């Protein structure tokens, strides 16, 4: 939600799509680097902005 500025519902939907794309199971997490790669974001910029 913080990174995309979208709603909680959309964020959950997006994580579900990313997990499906990465062949992850429901209990597995999506890392920051996986999220950034999927979304086409610069991981360094995301990390410095939110940490």
Count, residues in the chain: 51
Q: Per-residue confidence at 50, pLDDT binned at 50, 70, 90?
A: confident
In contact, 1 and 7? CB cutoff 8 Å: yes
- Is 31 a residue whose pLDDT tops 80? yes
Three-state SS for 49? helix
Q: Per-residue confidence at 25, pLDDT binned at 50, 70, 90?
A: very high
- Express as a percent the part of the chain with pLDDT over 70: 100
Tokens of 46: 């995301």
* Per-domain boundaries in the chain: 8-50
In contact, 3 and 46? CB cutoff 8 Å: yes
**Average pLDDT score over the chain:** 94
Q: What share of the chain is helix, strand, coil (3-state, %, to 5)?
A: 60, 0, 40
């Amino acid at each position: 939600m913080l990174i995309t500025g979208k709603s909680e519902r959309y964020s959950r939907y997006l994580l579900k799509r990313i997990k499906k794309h990465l062949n992850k199971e429901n209990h597995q997490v999506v890392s920051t680097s996986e999220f950034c790669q999927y979304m086409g974001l610069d991981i360094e910029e995301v990390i410095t902005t939110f940490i």
